[in-house]
Structure 1
Amino acid sequence: MVQRTVREFVRKELMPLEPQVLRNEREGKPGITREQLKDLQLKAKELGFWGINTPEEYGGANLGAMMTALVHMELGRTFVPFSFGGSADNILYYCNEEQKKRYLIPTINGERRSCFALTEPGAGSDPSSIRMTAVKDGDEWVLNGEKIFITNGNEADFAMVFAVTDKEKGARGGITCFLVDREMGWRSERIPTMGEWDPAALIFENVRVPEENVLGEVGWGFKLGLEWIGQARWVIPARGVGAAERLLQMAIDHAKTRVTFGKPIAERQAIQWMIADSAVEIEATRWITLRAAWMHDQGLDNRHQASMAKLYGANMANRVCDRVLQIHGGMGYTKELPIERWYREMRVWRIFDGTDEIQRYIISRNLLKGHVKVGEWMD
């Protein structure tokens, strides 16, 4: 029922906006305005979709990981930039009571926007090597350094910033997370990309942050950072399933009507194999991803499964999109169709929230060290 409801919402409310989104993005504008987003979120709220991962005590639906994965599979069917309202980053629930009033609750209510600031110019795939410093000065911390490729960094009111507070301990007790308001002095700069992802560089020059803005415990912020990253590793392939299904249907429809040498290209074996391989890979991604989400709901360690879902799912989406573009020929390469737009967007899925290479390292390490046994259920 949830899946059908979200699919209908995507079909009626989001897909009709796709031409507008493409036009706006070509002109360098946001795909949809903040006012449009709020209006769409209110429409979704009327259907019961508000804070899908937010605990019920904060007014959310708390659907759980499995249902969230299914929801993202449906949202992935469109490239219209949309997310359900009433939510906050998972690590913001570690706020103390006073911080909840200033950051968590306003974020859930849509009054404030946050961004997650961990990655640095020399610390992407290896976040434990971050260099931003936080030096204690009385009852304040002084932050200096730069963050890069920060999603929502241009729009955020505050950032969850990770900085080194003890160089000797490093990631093992020497990195702290701070809640830093933009008005405390940091600035953002846009980073142009080949896709529609619009990240930012965040610059901190002697930004003073009060002691009460430490999120969690001093020195143990790196654990929070990994917890934030881990959740995205099964959300990305879930989105990939929805996008790949939409693209594959476009390829099937085109193959039935495009005629070469007197026959629809759907009758050509080369086209049939691309369609068949895509369908199989989409289905495989669906179940790898749902199992990662199910393990999370069961309280099991799903990190190995989530890495497999991220690795396979991100690559699957790229392969399917490439095949669909090939099936459409020259038209697939034009901006008249949204295929090239998806093509550019999907490429970053293999990079952010853990590159392909990092996922392979994690998976192989778990197997070689015996953390996971081949052929055994993970628990």
Structure 2
Amino acid sequence: MDFQLDQEILDLKAKAREWVHGTLDGLCDGMEEEEKLPEALVEELRDGQMRFFGLTIPPEYGGEGWEALKWLSVLEEFARGYAFVRMIGHTMNGLFWRPLYDYGTEEQRRRYLPGMATGQIFAANSLTEPEGGTGRDINAKATRDGDHYILNGHKWLITQFPGLTTLFYAFAATEEGMTCFLVDAPAEGLVTQPMRRMMGCQGPRHYNIFYRDLRVHESQILGEKGRGLDIALGMLHLSRVSIAACGVGTAQRMLDLAIDYAKRRHTFGKPVASRQAIQGNVAQMATEIEAARLLYQRAAWMFDQGKEIVTQAAMAKVYSEQMVVRVAEMALRIHGGVGFTQAYPLERHFRDCRSFHFEEGTEEIQKLLIARSLLR
């Protein structure tokens, strides 16, 4: 059994890491205060030192067609930087194009996928609701009116970028059941309202999305009417592996910062890295990161082989989200009080990593999926 990544992937990882720390991090400075994506960052992502969009989209639609293991190994490096960079990479190279490819008509694919492959089309997944959730209990409704549907409802915690996001996956209940609609933005009846600032992943706000008599033509239905839940849940399994990879990248960055600080910080004439207690934390962090890395790589490899990954994806995601928080705590203790200040980047990563608890399903949901597979 060979656990070594191909040299091509190792080279891509090194190039991505250099791009993140040499260019992208600097372009993100001020994003948390200004609460928007800097124009220079968007330009660099679209046409910079390394291709960022379209890496997994098939070549016939303008992409590179990377397999999951190759892409997620590179995404791990993007996750070392600002959270919104890895969030854009995670969604645009996975969550947002695959439903169109798997369920869309050829006309829908040709209309949207080439734009996604270049970063000219940003998408948003408008599913989660404040009074319901992300499953069969959604309250948004779609009422037929001739060859159109009229949508009404309220979504929240939606990641979208004003001026950039031009496609919404809008989920609402029709007579047949939950249905997915493709909505071009801006549109009359599609109302966006920023939410309060988040604890972490700061920058552009998350949004409330209101459907207020939003009129959508029936040709914009994705897949079959009443099969929207299949589309929504079908997005999630590989996406959970993607989030696991992001957790590994963020944790690796915190370990690197902790090691660097421990070597430079001296107490009583010695670097704190020479203290056995610090060495124990470093060893624990590195071990847990490597375990999480192997879990997500195995799930990604299985996906590339066409195998079922529901259980493996849930295992990778739940362990990664637990691991990254433990690593954050140990990295903060190694830094001491100064790590709790904004003078060091650890403070931002410490906040950002909490979002992994909620992205693509909570720890409790992952455990439920794992238990079902074991007890059936």
TM-score, normalized by the shorter chain, greater than 0.5: yes
- In 2, Cα distance between equivalents of 1:86 and 1:363: 27
- In 1, Cα distance between equivalents of 2:342 and 2:352: 14
Q: Is the 8 A contact 2:62 2:114 kept in 1?
A: no
- Residue 234 of structure 1: aligned partner: 241
Q: Which amino acid aligns with 1:95?
A: G
Displacement of 1:72 after TM fit? 1.1
Q: Is the 8 A contact 2:191 2:212 kept in 1?
A: no
Matched, 1:162 2:171: yes
Question: Of residues 39, 43, 53 in structure 1, which corresponds to 2:44?
Answer: 39
Question: Of residues 102, 107, 117 in structure 2, which corresponds to 1:108?
Answer: 117
Deviations 1:278-328 (A, max 9, x none): 011000001100011011011111010000111001111111112111110
Q: Which amino acid aligns with 1:76?
A: A
Unaligned runs of 5+ in 1: 167-172, 370-379
- Residue 327 of structure 1: aligned partner: 334
Q: Is the 8 A contact 1:153 1:201 kept in 2?
A: no
SS in structure 2 of the partner of residue 335 of structure 1: coil
- Residue 227 of structure 2: aligned partner: 220
Matched, 1:90 2:98: yes
Q: Which amino acid aligns with 1:29?
A: E
Matched, 1:185 2:189: yes
- Residue 360 of structure 1: aligned partner: 367
Q: Is the 8 A contact 2:46 2:118 kept in 1?
A: no
Instruction: Call closer, same or farther: CA 1:70–1:160 in 2, change over 3 Å.
Output: same
> 105-114 vs 176-185, which deviates more?
105-114
Instruction: Call closer, same or farther: CA 1:77–1:110 in 2, change over 3 Å.
Output: closer
- In 1, Cα distance between equivalents of 2:44 and 2:259: 34
- Residue 28 of structure 1: aligned partner: 34
SS in structure 2 of the partner of residue 131 of structure 1: coil
Instruction: Call closer, same or farther: CA 1:8–1:98 in 2, change over 3 Å.
Output: closer
SS in structure 1 of the partner of residue 208 of structure 2: strand
SS in structure 1 of the partner of residue 136 of structure 2: helix
Q: Is the 8 A contact 1:95 1:104 kept in 2?
A: no
Displacement of 1:28 after TM fit? 2.7
- Residue 155 of structure 2: aligned partner: 147
- In 1, Cα distance between equivalents of 2:320 and 2:63: 28
- Residue 262 of structure 2: aligned partner: 255
Runs (4+) off by over 4 Å: 83-88
Displacement of 1:19 after TM fit? 4.8
Q: What are the within-5 Å matches in structure 2 for residues 305-344 of structure 1? A: 305-344=312-351
How many residues are aligned here? 358
| Aligned CA-pair RMSD | 2.2
- In 2, Cα distance between equivalents of 1:211 and 1:286: 43
Q: Which amino acid aligns with 1:72?
A: L
Q: Is the 8 A contact 1:7 1:75 kept in 2?
A: no
- Residue 4 of structure 1: aligned partner: 11
Q: Which has the higher contact order (CA 8 A, sep 6+)?
A: 2
Identical-pair percentage: 37
Q: Is the 8 A contact 2:53 2:118 kept in 1?
A: no
Displacement of 1:153 after TM fit? 5.7
- In 1, Cα distance between equivalents of 2:52 and 2:153: 38
Q: Is the 8 A contact 2:263 2:272 kept in 1?
A: yes
Q: Is the 8 A contact 1:153 1:188 kept in 2?
A: no
- In 2, Cα distance between equivalents of 1:7 and 1:133: 47
Displacement of 1:111 after TM fit? 2.8
Q: Is the 8 A contact 2:57 2:97 kept in 1?
A: no
Deviations 1:22-50 (A, max 9, x none): 4332x2333x42443223432345xx665
TM-score, structure 2 normalization: 0.88
- In 2, Cα distance between equivalents of 1:246 and 1:313: 14
